[in-house]
Amino acid sequence: MDKVLHLGSVIIKGNIEIGVLNSVCIGVVDDTEIGEGVKIDNIVHIAHYYSVGNSCMLTASTELREKY
């Protein structure tokens, strides 16, 4: 299996809280971003390319993923 080169990155702004067992996926082309003052509870998944706005709160077991 060939590796896929990821050109995107994960940008995490300041003053945030991140709980345990979370995953934030890096984008292949574009960035994944977590805004200023965000609070993330436990077991949260943020898929690639998502942008979480400033001062958001993500509760336990939240999943932000692609729409099909």
Into how many domains does the chain fold?
1
Write out the catalytic residue numbers: 48
Q: pTM score, two decimals?
A: 0.87
Question: Has residue 32 been placed in a domain?
Answer: yes
pLDDT in tens, 20-59: 999 999 988 999 999 999 999 999 999 999 999 999 999 9
pLDDT in tens, 3-12: 888 899 999 9
Question: Has residue 5 been placed in a domain?
Answer: no
Question: Has residue 33 been placed in a domain?
Answer: yes
25: exposed, middle or buried (Cβ count in 10 Å: 0-12, 13-18, 19+): middle
The amino acid at residue 42 is N
Q: Which residue segment(s) compose the domain that 38 sits in?
A: 10-64
Look up residue 33 and give its two tokens: 């971003």
